[in-house]
Structures are given as C-alpha cells and as structure tokens.
Homo-oligomer: A and B are copies of this chain.
Amino acid sequence: MKNEKQIRLGIIGIGNMGSEHCRLILGGKCPEVRLAAVADRRPERRAWARETLPEDTKVYGDGLELICGGDCDAVLIAVPHYQHAPMAAAALEAGLHVLCEKPAAVQAGRAEEMIRASEKAGKTLTFMFNQRTNCVYRAMKELLESGRMGALKRMNWIVTDWYRTQRYYDSGSWRATWAGEGGGVLLNQCPHQLDLLIWLCGMPCAVTTKYSEGKWHHIEVEDDVSALLEFPGGATGVFVASTGDLPGTNRLEIDCERGKLVCEDGRVKVWRLKENEREVCFTSEDPWYRGEPEMTELETDGENPQHVGVINAFAAHLLRGEKLIAEAKDGLRELELSNAIHLSGWTGERQEIPVSREAFDRELEKRIAGSKTRNVADVTYETNHG
C-alpha cells in the first residue's frame, strides 16, 4: 500500500448506497480509508461526483476502468445485484481486495465463483453485512456462542417492517424485475436478516415456503414470504418477510434448551432457566413445571456503527490482519438460504439445502425470459434505505 496508514478505496456504483458510502468516508468516519476513485455509468452521477468529491478522487465512467486504473488497493462494489459477481471477479483478478454490497449475487453459483476468484488471487473478499455490527445482534451472538443458553430448539423471525409503496418500485426501471434485480424482498431487503439468522442460529438444512409475487404491489418479484425452516440438530424455524405490511413487525425469538431470547424494538429480553429443559423434562415430578425463569434485558455496548463498522473492519483487516465483520463464505451461505426459499416458493415443494444450483438457475432463467423493464424514470434517493 502506498500509505501504510490508509487503504485506497474505489467505489464502483454511486447510486443510493455508493453515494452514501462516499459521504461516510468523506465525513471522517473511516480514518483508515482514502476515497481514491469512484465509477458510475451514469453521467449525472459522475457530475455529482465531480462537484462533491475531493479533487484527487478519480471519477471513472465504468467499474472496469476503475479496476484497471491503478489508483486503488480495494473496491467497494455497489452496483445492481447481477453485476456483483463479474465486477468482483474482475477486481480480484486485477489484484484488488473486494468489499461487496449484499446480496453476494443473485445465484449461489455466482457467489461461489467470486470466492474461487478470491482464493486464486489471494485477495480479500467480504460483504456488506452491516447489521452484524448492531449491538443487539452482537450481544445475542455472544450469548448464544457462550453455550449458556444450550442448544437451539426453535426460532421465529417476523420481519415485515420493510414497507414500501408502489412509488418505491416505480423509482427504477430495473427494480423488482427478474432481469434487473433478480428477486424482491428476499434479494433486496432481507439478505441482512437471512445472514443474521444463519450467524445466530446456524444454517438450516431444509425449507418449505409459502410465497407470493406481486401480491401487494405491481411488480414481478416476491413481496410476501413465509418459510418453515429445519435445522440439522432438529430445531425448527419460521421466517416471515413482506414489503406490504403497515405497520410491520421485526421480532426475532430464539428458543434454546436453557431459555429464550426475544429481540424487538431494539431490545433483547432474555429468559434464563436454572436447569436444562431437556433434563428437567424427564426428572421433574411436576407435570406443569414452569421453572419461573427470570427475565432480564440483555446488556449491550450500545454501539451500532453499521456501514462505517464494516468499512473500517475491512481496512483494519487489510492493514493489520484484523477480523472482518463477515467472511466470503458468509455471503455464499446467505444466498444458499435465499435461493432455497425462492426455489421452494417457485416449486411449492420442500427443498433441502443446498438446493441444486442448476434447478435454481433454470427456474430463474424462465422468469428472466419473461421479465419486462419497468417503464418509469430512474430516481436516485439520497438516503441510506435499502
């Protein structure tokens, strides 16, 4: 690296998310990152970059040009989903490290190619799973990993607080189309929750989905999903997601052998049993044993650095070998689960995980073949919404 104290970062795609990342870095929140270059195919975004960004930030008309420009040690990829895999592979092959927006790709097969490119190049690949930096999820992860709650028995996540009006979908010609975005609430809104689900509870081994496309909006892709999950140890789960519920709910319950955790409204309530339920069930003489576990609120450190946390960890990893927020394989696993929920919804059948990549790709191709670009003007929102 030119400057041992900073990585030179290029941001490819400066739409909603990419422009927000620029602002974070320029706002001084990422002291180990220098914004070396940006790239976007749209002239109006490049004009914005030239007006807004420092003079020494190079502005490219295409991600591949940026990759070949030699100004960067690493890139942050914030282009539409289908371009994640080819853009990441190009960057890795050019010797750059890659931080890629979620989801890793649309098809798990493409995410696997990204990982292979990373391994071949010996360069870092990671994903923007910024919700992992939220103190409530970190505290839950720590408690679950400590073993104090015992093994998982059940989980239930209602994540229906992703409400979007039709206007949201009408803001981009590619939005909510099979050809342009590759999926709906599973691909755009829920990669964070699916990643957290795997991070906290482990990878499910099967899924049965009740699924609807364009149920609440005039869109091609899914906006309502209910999934029954099965875990290798016998635990079960429920995952419900929608962009059509108002007001929605975001409530995650995790039931273990020694109690339960409920995360809602930014707080985690914990009920801890004195004994392991799996033992007390067979030793108690009380038919209606209750154990009367005390409920406490899980303490957290209050920190929730989100995108800044992921970018800073990426820089610290490259500069000093510190731990990433998520590894490359985590991006693949999230997509394995997402693809399985989709395929179960499409086929109406229970699917074991991982699903056949050929079967998923074939079903997706059918939908892409019938996909229509939305006849609307593209809008870039200056917000950090997904």
- Which residues of A come within 8 Å of B, CB atoms? 153-154, 156, 158, 160, 163-168, 171, 208, 210, 212, 215-217, 224, 226, 228, 230, 234, 236, 238, 240, 242, 244-247, 249, 253, 255, 259-260, 262, 271, 273, 277, 280-282, 284-291, 293, 348, 350, 381, 383, 385
Residues of B within 8 Å of A287, CB to CB, are 164-165, 167-168, 171, 381, 385
Cα-based distance from A210 to B291 in the complex (angstroms): 28
Q: Is the CB of B160 within 8 A of A282?
A: no
Q: Is the CB of B160 within 8 A of A154?
A: yes
Residues of B within 8 Å of A168, CB to CB, are 287-288
Q: Is the CB of A253 within 8 A of B167?
A: no
Q: Is the CB of A228 within 8 A of B210?
A: yes
Contacting A167 at CB < 8 Å: which of B165, B262, B285?
B285
Cα-based distance from A286 to B385 in the complex (angstroms): 13
Cα-based distance from A273 to B246 in the complex (angstroms): 8
Closest B residue, CB atoms, query A284:
B165
Q: Is the CB of A217 within 8 A of B154?
A: no
Contact flag A260-B247 (CB < 8 Å), given A226-B228, A234-B215, A290-B163: yes
Task: Given A153-B244, A164-B288, A226-B238, output 10 extra A-B contacts at Cβ < 8 Å.
Answer: A156-B238, A165-B286, A165-B287, A167-B284, A215-B234, A216-B281, A244-B281, A245-B255, A246-B273, A287-B385
Cα-based distance from A350 to B226 in the complex (angstroms): 14
Q: Is the CB of A153 within 8 A of B245?
A: yes
Q: Is the CB of A242 within 8 A of B154?
A: yes
In whole Å, how far is A380's beta carbon from the nearest beta carbon of chain B?
Answer: 12
In whole Å, how far is A191's beta carbon from the nearest beta carbon of chain B?
Answer: 18
Q: Is the CB of B228 within 8 A of A290?
A: no
7 A-B contact pairs sorted by A residue (CB < 8 Å): A165-B281, A208-B210, A210-B236, A226-B236, A247-B293, A287-B381, A348-B350
Q: Is the CB of A253 within 8 A of B158?
A: yes
Contact flag A247-B226 (CB < 8 Å), given A210-B208, A288-B163: no
Contacting A166 at CB < 8 Å: which of B240, B253, B282?
B282
Cα-based distance from A245 to B281 in the complex (angstroms): 10
Cα-based distance from A262 to B249 in the complex (angstroms): 10
In whole Å, how far is A124's beta carbon from the nearest beta carbon of chain B?
Answer: 33
Residues of B within 8 Å of A291, CB to CB, are 246-247
Residues of B within 8 Å of A217, CB to CB, are 281
In whole Å, how far is A210's beta carbon from the nearest beta carbon of chain B?
Answer: 5
In whole Å, how far is A85's beta carbon from the nearest beta carbon of chain B?
Answer: 27
Residues of B within 8 Å of A156, CB to CB, are 158, 238, 240
Residues of B within 8 Å of A293, CB to CB, are 246-247
In whole Å, how far is A190's beta carbon from the nearest beta carbon of chain B?
Answer: 16
Q: Is the CB of B236 within 8 A of A290?
A: no
Closest B residue, CB atoms, query A262:
B249
Q: Is the CB of A240 within 8 A of B238?
A: yes
In whole Å, how far is A270's beta carbon from the nearest beta carbon of chain B?
Answer: 11
Q: Is the CB of A286 within 8 A of B167?
A: yes
Residues of B within 8 Å of A212, CB to CB, are 236
Q: Which 7 residue pairs are nearest across A and B when measured between Cβ atoms? A: A168-B287, A246-B277, A210-B228, A165-B284, A167-B287, A165-B289, A166-B282
Closest B residue, CB atoms, query A216:
B281
Residues of B within 8 Å of A284, CB to CB, are 165, 167
Cα-based distance from A255 to B226 in the complex (angstroms): 14
Closest B residue, CB atoms, query A379:
B287
Residues of B within 8 Å of A160, CB to CB, are 154, 255
